[in-house]
Amino acid sequence: MDLQFYGANTIVLTVKGNRVVFDDNLADLGGKSVAKAGDIQLFTGPHAPARADAKISFDSPGEYEVADVSITGIPARAHIDEAGQHNATIFRLQVADTSVAVVGHVYPELSDAQLELLNIIDVLFIPVGGNGYTLDPVGALKLIKKIEPKLVIPTHYDDGLNYPVPQQPLEEALKVLAMEPKETTSKLRVKPADLTDTTQLVVLQRP
């Protein structure tokens, strides 16, 4: 399984020739869309229409099986929601022996029921940019401690895109997280044997 990060909350997971693309709103932020024909497109919150030629797209809770990938959408309170609202979706993917979670722009509190649905997470993608747009590093750290993933990959920080609200630099976010990157790379191949019980952090650079 290969992982790439294209800025904002846009992530591409590739397994056995199939691509799963998360939150591709890059065209709205001055970037270039990365979604291609035949992709599985997932959205954790409000979004522009998915490609008409996508294999399939999801933006809501539920359980799905597509191309050897098991997908669970978990309802969540968005960062701007009132208590009791659930306008965001956390996605959990199971690919063979590896689990991946993408939380998106959520409120930094998860219930026991949500944590039970997440279960054991190997790789967690989590925003850190803050400033009212998404999770800040303090909120991100709360979720990291609750989810206890083996690998953390930060998203949605100041990466050169045109955000409507300035996002924190990654260096500042990492100070709050108090985590030193294990490595910095443009593409990460995840192997279960490389994961440890101690949570580690990897920085994925935009291509």
Q: What is the per-residue pLDDT across 14-69, written as a single tens digit (0 to 9) for each?
A: 998 899 999 999 999 999 999 999 999 999 998 889 999 999 999 999 999 998 89
pLDDT digits (tens, 9 = 90+) for 74-113: 999 998 878 878 889 999 999 989 999 999 999 999 999 9
Q: With bands split at pLDDT 50, 70 and 90, how would you rate the model's confidence at 13?
A: very high
pTM summary value: 0.95
Picking from 48, 1, 3, the residue whose alpha carbon sits closest to that of residue 206 is 3
Structural domain total, the chain: 1
Under DSSP, the state recorded for 141 is: H
Residue 140 belongs to domain with CATH number: 3.60.15.10
Determine the structural domain holding residue 173 and report its residue range. 2-204
120 within 8 A of 153, measured Cβ to Cβ:
no
DSSP H or E segment with residue 75: strand 69-76
Q: Which two tokens stand for residue 179?
A: 């985590």
